[in-house]
Structure 1
Amino acid sequence: MSKLFVIISAIFVGNLVFLSTTILKNSVQDPWEVPAKYQKLENPFASDADAENIGKTLYNKHCKSCHGSEGKGDGPKAEGLDTPTGDFTEASFKEQTDGALYYKTIFGRDDMPSFETKITEEKDRWLLINYLKRL
């Protein structure tokens, strides 16, 4: 019986260590440095109403699987990622400049893919940013 207890204890501790490192890995991420050029970049389509159509269509095609239907970072692919997906409904997201969001969305990093070759129209890129900020 004591050998069984040792084996069960070892399995429990191993699982606990694995779970702890997974949680830590997913909750701690280096700050995403955005070059000053992009921080200050103005959105030439900030007031364009097409965000509800084009922006939403692009979001559903490229973003929804990870970021979820409401932008809360809970899409079906989010669980399998090594980095947090981010919640577009949080104030910390909405406080970012349009240029910073443009940089992060188009160039990506880590599990966030680049959309530089997938969303090539400049106006479409900005309409996606408009839509993200409305979530």
Structure 2
Amino acid sequence: MKIKILIPAALIGMAFFMLSFQSNSDWPVPEKYQKMKNPVAASDDSVEMGEDLWKTHCKSCHGKEGLGDGSKAAQLDTPAGDFTSAKFQKQTDGALFYKTLEGRGDMPSYKKKIPNEEDIWNLVNFMRTLK
């Protein structure tokens, strides 16, 4: 009887253990998006629009300065990330666009919340100021 309980419990435990490694791994981005260029110039207006979107949709997890220290960050299963880091800033604009559009794990998809692609590009332009 104990074996019938222990085996499923062990399998479930292993599954959660493996998922914890997956969520902390690099976030793969399709090549199409890796190579995608930002069609929106990083003008003052674009950055300002991106900042407004950041305050509405991103700040609560990623923080005011993009350090991953927002008011909801402690509730997340995975770290919100430091957008000021060299590793983050090395990503292509297309990769940032993809990750914002698609989401993963705790990070929601913004396809419906920010349906205008130009707005996502404005948000990417703002993310570039977080250094």
Larger Cα Rg: Structure 1 or Structure 2? 1
- Name which of 85, 89, 97 aligns with 1:94: 89
What is the CA deviation profile of residues 76-135 of structure 1, one whole-angstrom value per residue up to 9, with x for unaligned ones?
Answer: 100010011011111111110000000011110000000010111121110000001111
Describe how 1:70-109 pairs up with structure 2 within 5 A. Answer: 70-109=65-104
- Name which of 108, 119, 127 aligns with 2:122: 127
Please state how far the C-alpha of 1:30 moved relative to its aligned partner.
1.6
Percent of aligned pairs sharing the same letter? 55
Taking only aligned residues, the RMSD between alpha carbons, in angstroms, comes to: 1.5
CA distance in 2 between counterparts of 1:47 and 1:53 reads 10
Secondary structure of the structure 2 residue equivalent to 1:52 = helix
**Does structure 1 conserve the Cα–Cα contact (< 8 Å) formed by 2:40 and 2:46?**
no
Please state how far the C-alpha of 1:52 moved relative to its aligned partner.
2.9
Runs of 4+ in 1 over 2 A off after TM superposition: 46-49
- Is 2:9 aligned against 1:40? no
| TM-score normalized with structure 2 length | 0.79
- Is 2:60 aligned against 1:65? yes
| TM-score normalized with structure 1 length | 0.77
Equivalenced residues, count: 110
- Is 2:109 aligned against 1:117? no
CA distance in 2 between counterparts of 1:82 and 1:46 reads 35
- Structure 2, gaps ≥5 residues long: 1-19
